Amino acid sequence: MIKRYVKQDTSNEKTTRIKNKVDTGTQTPKRLNILKSILIKFKQNIRVKSNIFFFLLGLITSNQFFSVYFEDLSKNNEFNLGIRDHKLAVVVPYRERFEELLVFVPHMSKFLASKSINFKIFVINQVDSFRFNRASLINIGFLTAMKECDYMVMHDVDLLPLTEKLDYSYPLNGPFHVSSSGLHPEYNYSTFIGGILIIKKEDFIKTNGMSNRYWGWGKEDDDFYNRLIKANITIHRPNVKEFESGSNFTFLNNHDSEKRKRDKKRFLKQKKESLRFDQTGLESIMYKIQSINQILIDKYPCTIVNVELFCDRYDTHWCNMDYQFL
């Protein structure tokens, strides 16, 4: 500051005179005090800025800063790291629904990405000659997907969510039935948990998964409802009143009942026998994985798991279509 003040004077003689006055102490007390005050403030300013700089530098280079900073932002939903604590397995029990799958994979990929859900789609394709067994395919999907995911949504291939209000996040407090009664376009009874059900790994293991005795269409979800109740697991549902769309526009039911008729046949004692509570599930399922393929549908990835189921004909003879319809 003193040099800058001196250089502002264009007179060499005056410059020399000012320097001499400062050096010899002949500078007037008032002017000298002003110069000292400026110099002190300048040093203080430099010191403060320096301290702030090194303080921030120390914080930025520490892991503690990043963990605290990003944790605070994530709590307030103000920052998206692109990394999630949880990963959702979209498990689709499947057989000969290629047209529906072409719609399902792109739609669900866009929908879940818009909700910032970390996910992977597993299509569990039954390739044997037995009747369709949705519950067994879900069990296999769970065993396959839980190697890299920690919660699952059992998802029908023909049921597509249409509103952002539908929640696919981690079900911390218990299973969450997305397509609940009052929102599902087809079914409306209080114990219904079919269509789309989200469940965390621990809860599905606690029930030993789903029963493997349900060959043909229907009733496996009602059996799973009983398993959840017996395991004291509370089922949660959306508040239907919050959905102005109702059951008509909350989901798209992409099933063509004329082209793809459901196997609702009941053989011999199937209805009575299959409804009794049994111990089959994750621990007893018998199957063979033929192949696992990664494919893209309109640039969106999914994993196709081709599986063969095994049937104990002494226990569930209705797994084969050769029996007479009653």
pLDDT digits (tens, 9 = 90+) for 82-122: 445 899 999 999 999 999 999 999 999 999 999 999 999 99
Helix (H) or strand (E) holding 296: strand 287-297
CA 59, 60, 63, 68 dihedral sign is: positive
8 A C-beta contact, residue 216 and residue 323:
no
Least confident range from 31-35, 41-45, 99-103, 140-144: namely 41-45
Please give the structure tokens belonging to residue 109: 């990929």
Please give the structure tokens belonging to residue 1: 């500051």
Burial class (CB in 10 A: 0-12, 13-18, 19+), 90: buried
Give me the phi and psi of 190, to 5 degrees please: -65, -30
Question: How many angstroms separate the CA atoms of 26 and 38, rounded?
Answer: 19
Residue 80 has pLDDT above 50, yes or no: no
Question: How many angstroms separate the CA atoms of 198 and 266, rounded?
Answer: 29
CA 92 to chain centre: 16
Residue 68 has pLDDT above 60, yes or no: no
Terminal-to-terminal C-alpha distance of the chain: 105
For domain 88-319, give the CATH superfamily.
Spore Coat Polysaccharide Biosynthesis Protein SpsA; Chain A (3.90.550.10)
DSSP secondary structure code for residue 257 in this structure = T
Using pLDDT thresholds of 50, 70 and 90, give the confidence band for residue 181. Answer: confident
Please give the structure tokens belonging to residue 9: 């004077």
* Domain residue limits, the chain: 2-75, 88-319
Amino acid found at 76: N
Beta strands 88-94 and 151-155, pairing class:
parallel
Amino acid found at 155: H
DSSP 29-68: HHHHHHHHHHHHHHHHHHHHHHHHHHHHHHHHTSHHHHHH
Residue 139 has pLDDT above 70, yes or no: yes
For the stretch 205-248, pLDDT in tens is 999 999 998 888 778 998 999 999 999 999 999 988 888 766 56
pTM over 0.85: no
pLDDT at residue 242, rounded to an integer: 84
Question: How many angstroms separate the CA atoms of 212 and 230, rounded?
Answer: 18
